[in-house]
Structure 1
Amino acid sequence: MAVTTEEDLTVTDICRILQISRRTFYEWRAKGRAPRCKRVPNGELRIRRADFERWYDGCGDVA
């Protein structure tokens, strides 16, 4: 069983890093555009740092 660690980011962390609102994050999530999330027992979402970094790297604009 995996536990939440400092390697896990909260929705607040993600919003702060990306400078977006929580509403934007949840809209992206509803559209399948947000990084992969897991729900912890208290009902909150967590994003593994490695999953976030992979997702972020994949967001690059191809010029």
Structure 2
Amino acid sequence: MLNKLLTTKEVLVLLGDVPRSTFYRWRQLGLGPRSIKLPNGEIRYRPADVDKWLREHEEAAA
């Protein structure tokens, strides 16, 4: 089953205060969530990939 793919703008809303330029830099460096490049050149993200990426970057609560 296909989930709705998220736009970069939607992912940025989920992340809160991360600047767009920082997010793009993370993507260029391979540090961002897994992405999909559509035939028209637009980038999309699977919600499950964004969730996984966030879990991988959680810090243990003190």
What is the TM-score with the length of structure 1 in the denominator?
A: 0.80
For residues 4-19 of structure 1, the aligned pairs below 5 Å read 7-19=4-16
One of 4, 19, 28 as aligned partner of 1:21: 19
For residues 1-63 of structure 1, the aligned pairs below 5 Å read 7-19=4-16, 20-62=18-60, 63=62
Whether the aligned pair in 1 keeps the contact of 2:34 and 2:45 (CA below 8 Å) is: yes
Post-superposition shift, 1:7? 2.2
Quick check: which one's strand share is greater?
Answer: 1
Q: Which runs of 4+ in 1 moved over 6 A?
A: none
What is the TM-score with the length of structure 2 in the denominator?
A: 0.81
Alpha-carbon distance between aligned partners in 2 of 1:60 and 1:33, rounded to the nearest angstrom: 14
Q: Percent identity?
A: 37
Aligned with 2:57: secondary structure? coil
Root mean square deviation of aligned Cα: 1.5
Structure 2 residues not aligned, in runs of 5+ = none
Residue correspondences, number: 59
